[in-house]
Amino acid sequence: MINDESSDLALHPEIDDLHALVDGTLSDRQTVAFESHLNHCGFCQERLLDLAAQSSFHQELGSILTRADFSSSEDQDSDIMEVSQTDATTPFSVRTLSCLLDPSDDAAAMGRFDGYDVQRVIGVGGMGIVLKARDRSLDRYVAIKVLHEQFASRSISRKRFAQEAKAAAAVSHDNVIAIHGVSQWKGLLYLVMPCISGPSLQQHINQHAPLNLGDMLRIAIQVARGLSAAHDQGLVHRDVKPANILMPLGTDRVLLTDFGLARMINDADCTATGTLVGTPQYMSPEQVGDGPIDGRSDLFALGCVIVAMATGQPPFEADSTLAIIRKITDVPHQRLSDVRHDLPKWFVEIVDRLLEKAPDRRFADAAEVVEMLETCLAHLQQPESNPLPTVGRRSRHTVQWLVLGAAVIGALIATLPVLFIVTRSTLPQDDALESRLTTTPVPATSSPASATTVESSFDEHLLIEVEREVDWLQSEFERPFAATPIEASSR
């Protein structure tokens, strides 16, 4: 095709034809013909480029874009950057503060905020600013979340805000961040919370997704426990998302944060402006619609969080807020089993049920989810002594599968001493545990079926599936719940 002189054009192409070439509306034959003319005609090469854009645009393009813009953009975007006092790229936060703060006699502090010595700015966002400060009276570090005047004053009464914040503060639970106090200073509403050092689940997902089943279960259980405690107090979170789940360093505990407050302000905003504030990616259909909201809305969000842990992305993604909302309300989620082939069916079904569009079809409440997930985690750790619960009301075939699966596991344990030895070698040498492993009757097989009959009554396929699960369980035992060594801000 190079330098195909035979199809060369004697004359320069008409300007309209060049336009058509750029537009891609020429026939293949014409395109080839013009291109072969372009092979050697410098004049038409220039014409073509002029036609595409003015020379200033070509220049600008060359000076602005670099190869790196296309190759490593993802890495750049996922950088976790911390706002600090000396960070020259965020002059606004420092400027803001310097106007706001009282002088402090602590030389290391930026100034005083209502009696707290402010050490530095942890974060700045559309909602407000978060400060790390020292509480002198109790000699501890706290995080102070100051709400923008813009949010706090608009269409929501301070009294109601304070009431809600106090209700959130009343939830005392291991998996819910404590709120030390709610107050206002110089007309600004603020919350005082413990200063947590560790990444958010969002950051954890950015770095480690897809997470393994054990980690997902452990995190989901804690989130569900926190939700359950809050729901018991009549409080719906309304903004459960990975960015609102903190993972304090040096512990396996996770903490729910921003309870009720963020979305409450946003809701008030919606009333005033009819506009949704914040990403709707983790919102339930009833939340983006106009349905009444209760704790089951948070369960839907929990389902979204699990999907984000499993795949790195929330289940409903699109270019615009509107498109996301449409997906949330109208489009069934993609089943986890389509994306992750390693996840057991029961897990996929739990997520399916959390992501039911109709609240009535989800779990009844967070407590039920906790119980379900705990049983599953127990099963994961000790499959022989902990049968799986039934996930859905409608999933009859699941029950069958579980019964069969348990029977096969029983058969395997009874008939495959090799497998047993391998399993035992990965567990602590504990006699009690060992005897339990060997003597506990296998649930779901009421009559101790003889190995041969059980074996012959199941197909290869199922056996392979069970073996795979046992292999996987072993690897799970060997891998401790990884704490992430990311130094990041608390919120």
Partner 1 sequence: MTNPQTRKSLLLRLRDSDDHDAWTEFESLYRPLIAAMARRHGLQMADADDLTQTVLVTISQAISRFDVDPRRGQFRTWLKTIARRATINALTRRPIAIPLGGSSDAWLAELPDNDPQTDAMVKHYRREVFRLAAMRVKVEFASESWECFQQCAIEGMPAKEVARRLNRSIGSVYTARSRIVRRLREVVSELDIETET
Please give the residues from 157 up to 186 whose contact with partner 1 meets the rule CB under 8 A. Answer: none
Number of residues that bind partner 1 (CB under 8 A): 94
Rounded to whole angstroms, the Cα distance separating 467 from 460 reads: 10
* Residue 102 engages partner 1 in binding (rule: CB under 8 A): no
User: Minimum CB separation from partner 1 for residue 376, in Å?
Assistant: 30
User: Minimum CB separation from partner 1 for residue 24, in Å?
Assistant: 6
- Tokens 């106007």 appear where? 99
User: Minimum CB separation from partner 1 for residue 285, in Å?
Assistant: 11
CA-to-CA dists, residue 314 to 15, 55, 289, 311, 332, angstroms: 49, 43, 19, 8, 13
Is 135 among the residues known to form the active site? Answer: no
User: Minimum CB separation from partner 1 for residue 351, in Å?
Assistant: 23
Stretch binding partner 1 (CB under 8 A), from 111-119, 123-131, 301-309, 451-459: 123-131
24, 103, 428, 485: which one contacts partner 1 (CB under 8 A)?
A: 24
30, 119, 153, 445: which one contacts partner 1 (CB under 8 A)?
A: 153
**Cβ–Cβ < 8 Å for 444, 402:** yes
Rounded to whole angstroms, the Cα distance separating 293 from 236 reads: 8
User: Minimum CB separation from partner 1 for residue 47, in Å?
Assistant: 10
* Residue 273 engages partner 1 in binding (rule: CB under 8 A): yes
* Residue 207 engages partner 1 in binding (rule: CB under 8 A): no
Measured from the CB atom, is 93 or 228 closer to partner 1? 93
Rounded to whole angstroms, the Cα distance separating 370 from 399 reads: 20
**How far apart, in Å, do the first and last CA atoms of the chain sit?**
61
101, 109, 110, 129: which one contacts partner 1 (CB under 8 A)?
A: 129
117, 267, 352, 365: which one contacts partner 1 (CB under 8 A)?
A: 267
Using CB under 8 A as the binding rule, the residues of this chain from 450 to 479 that contact partner 1 are: none
User: Minimum CB separation from partner 1 for residue 102, in Å?
Assistant: 15
Using CB under 8 A as the binding rule, the residues of this chain from 215 to 254 that contact partner 1 are: 243
Measured from the CB atom, is 258 or 349 closer to partner 1? 258
User: Minimum CB separation from partner 1 for residue 114, in Å?
Assistant: 14
Q: Which residue in the list 17, 105, 215, 239 is annotated as catalytic? A: 239
Stretch binding partner 1 (CB under 8 A), from 124-132, 248-256, 300-308, 461-469: 124-132
- CA diameter of the chain: 94
Measured from the CB atom, is 45 or 438 closer to partner 1? 45
Rounded to whole angstroms, the Cα distance separating 329 from 323 reads: 10
6, 27, 86, 275: which one contacts partner 1 (CB under 8 A)?
A: 275
Measured from the CB atom, is 126 or 428 closer to partner 1? 126
Measured from the CB atom, is 37 or 231 closer to partner 1? 37
* Residue 12 engages partner 1 in binding (rule: CB under 8 A): no
User: Minimum CB separation from partner 1 for residue 399, in Å?
Assistant: 33
CA-to-CA dists, residue 1 to 4, 13, 43, 325, angstroms: 6, 19, 21, 50
53, 170, 422, 464: which one contacts partner 1 (CB under 8 A)?
A: 53
* Residue 27 engages partner 1 in binding (rule: CB under 8 A): no
**Cβ–Cβ < 8 Å for 193, 489:** no
* Tokens describing residue 246: 């903190």
Using CB under 8 A as the binding rule, the residues of this chain from 434 to 453 that contact partner 1 are: none
* Residue 136 engages partner 1 in binding (rule: CB under 8 A): no
Measured from the CB atom, is 41 or 463 closer to partner 1? 41
Measured from the CB atom, is 87 or 232 closer to partner 1? 87
Using CB under 8 A as the binding rule, the residues of this chain from 318 to 337 that contact partner 1 are: 319-322, 325-326
Measured from the CB atom, is 284 or 423 closer to partner 1? 284
User: Minimum CB separation from partner 1 for residue 321, in Å?
Assistant: 6
* Tokens describing residue 397: 């075939």
Binding mask 56-95 for partner 1 (x = CB under 8 A): xxx-xxx-xxxx-xx--x--xx--xxxx---x-xxxxx-x
Measured from the CB atom, is 22 or 331 closer to partner 1? 22
The set of catalytic residues is 239
